[in-house]
Amino acid sequence: MGIKVDRLILRHIRMPLVHFFETSFGRTHERDIILVEAIAGEISGWGEVTAGENPFYNEEWTGSVWPLLIDYVAPRVLQHEFASPADVSARTSHIRGHKMAQGGVEAAIWDLQARLANEPLYKAIGGGAHLEIPCGVSIGIQDSVEQLLEKIETEVTAGYQRIKMKIGPGWDVDVVRRVRERFPSIKLMADANSAYTLADLEHLKKLDEFYLMMIEQPLAHDDIIDHAKLQRALETPICLDECIRTPHHAEQAIEMGACRIINIKLGRMGGFTPSKRLHDICRAANIPVWCGGMLESGIGRAHNIALSTLPNFVLPGDVSASKRYWKRDIISPAVEVSAGGTITVPQGPGFGYEIDADYLDSLVVRREMLR
């Protein structure tokens, strides 16, 4: 059964975060998110564009996504007969970059296809190896070390299986030391979001002492070669995030020894099809993967859950409960995490949660219907 999208509705929504989130590139208090509703006849599929409010994680931001979707992605996708959603990504991949914009539409069409077939999204994408997803949390840079220790305590008590802390110059070795003193046996990792260069090599080596599971993306967002040099000097495994924007980047990083782990983000890769290809490359090379997050609403979160059911997602990801981010989520029920730190994969059609249409409507900043 092929698939044809006859309408796309774009919505820009604004959602306040329960707590600000700080990375080495800045602080976020509220999210501006672009949602994609892909419609065939009476049935809708939903996707989320995971770009941030500013072009600091990658080149995309809420403001770039809107015209990119209207001028370049929608015209290539609307009214086109796809044999399968697996063909959507190839239809837009001539667009340089802007993978998150492309990926939001691609994911909406996978959800649409799953709903048309009345099956769960995870089955449609060929997943299902895990139906309980192991969860970790990502904790931003705090105003004080005490605050960070308190947050970690809360999350460990809630059952989360691993803690990721954001680091950057001035908030690294000494802070990690304090965390390790207080929590000697938790699974701990650090994410630098490209805050360092090879000039910091001796400083970064000091992190080896804290037996971290991995250090995520310490060096430049586009520099696989320097990561290979750093990995040779470190005992701690490097995990690449920003550097891996195509499956081929992973082949190059693995060949060069630039990392031992890869974080897969659905949006960064441009959707399920390239994410699956990346997953398969890593699996064949014995590189474990985990699912990253971009402070998603429930819609992006639900897609991440489906993705995480693929077999090589063997490490706890950054997919955590809705309530850590939102007072109220736009899906129902909210994403919940068990006392053992897992999410049970929902079995309903599509991504398996309902859209809370009234609440969603109340958050809309702008809306556009495309035919």
Note whether 318 binds ligand OSB by CB under 6 A: yes
Active site annotation includes 99: no
Name the segment binding Mg ion (CB under 5 A); options: 171-179, 185-193, 298-306, 349-357.
185-193
The distance of Cα 242 from the centroid of its chain, to the nearest Å, equals 11
- Ranges within 9-38 binding ligand OSB (CB under 6 A): 23
* Residue among 33, 52, 17 at smallest CA distance from 327: 17
* Residue among 256, 261, 258 at smallest CA distance from 279: 261
Tokens of 3: 């698939």
- Ranges within 233-252 binding Mg ion (CB under 5 A): 241
Note whether 191 binds ligand OSB by CB under 6 A: yes
Judged by beta carbon, residue 22 or residue 191, the one nearer Mg ion is: 191
Q: Please give the full DSSP string across 61-129, using - where no structure is assigned.
A: -HHHHHHHIIIIIHHHHBT--BSSGGGHHHHHTTS-S-HHHHHHHHHHHHHHHHHHTTSBHHHHTT--S
As measured in angstroms, the least distance from the Cβ of 295 to ligand OSB is 5
Q: How far is CA 85 from CA 5, 37, 233, 350, in A?
A: 11, 15, 42, 13
Q: How many CA atoms lie within 13 A of 224 on its CB side?
A: 18
Q: Which of 99, 164, 187, 265 is catalytic?
A: 265
Pick one of 168, 247, 292, 346: the residue that binds ligand OSB (CB under 6 A). 292
Residue tagged 């053992």 (tokens): 340
- Residue 293 contacts which entry, Mg ion, ligand OSB, none (Cβ below 5-8 A, type-dependent): ligand OSB
Note whether 58 binds ligand OSB by CB under 6 A: no
User: Per-residue string for binding with ligand OSB, 193-212, x by CB under 6 A?
Assistant: x-------------------
Judged by beta carbon, residue 115 or residue 329, the one nearer ligand OSB is: 329
Backbone angles phi, psi at 191, to 5 degrees: -120, 120
Note whether 356 binds Mg ion by CB under 5 A: no
Pick one of 46, 57, 110, 353: the residue that binds ligand OSB (CB under 6 A). 57
User: Per-residue string for binding with ligand OSB, 92-131, x by CB under 6 A?
Assistant: ----------------------------------------
Judged by beta carbon, residue 191 or residue 329, the one nearer ligand OSB is: 191
Backbone angles phi, psi at 229, to 5 degrees: -65, -45
Judged by beta carbon, residue 85 or residue 271, the one nearer ligand OSB is: 271
Contact between 192 and 25 under an 8 Å Cβ cutoff? The reply is no
Name the segment binding ligand OSB (CB under 6 A); options: 58-66, 276-284, 292-300, 307-315.
292-300
Name the segment binding ligand OSB (CB under 6 A); options: 90-98, 113-121, 152-160, 293-301.
293-301
Active site annotation includes 164: no
Note whether 155 binds Mg ion by CB under 5 A: no
Q: Which of 166, 206, 229, 327 is catalytic?
A: 166
Name the segment binding Mg ion (CB under 5 A); options: 93-101, 152-160, 214-222, 280-288.
214-222
Assign 3-state DSSP to the chain and report helix, strand, coil percentages, each to 5.
35, 25, 40
Q: Please give the full DSSP string across 203-255, using - where no structure is assigned.
A: HHHGGGGG--S-EE--S-TT-HHHHHHHHHH-SSPEEESTT-SSHHHHHHHHH
* Residue among 42, 109, 124, 111 at smallest CA distance from 73: 109
Q: What is the contact surface with ligand OSB in residues (CB under 6 A)?
A: 23, 57, 138, 191, 193, 241, 292-295, 318
Q: What is the contact surface with Mg ion in residues (CB under 5 A)?
A: 191, 216, 241
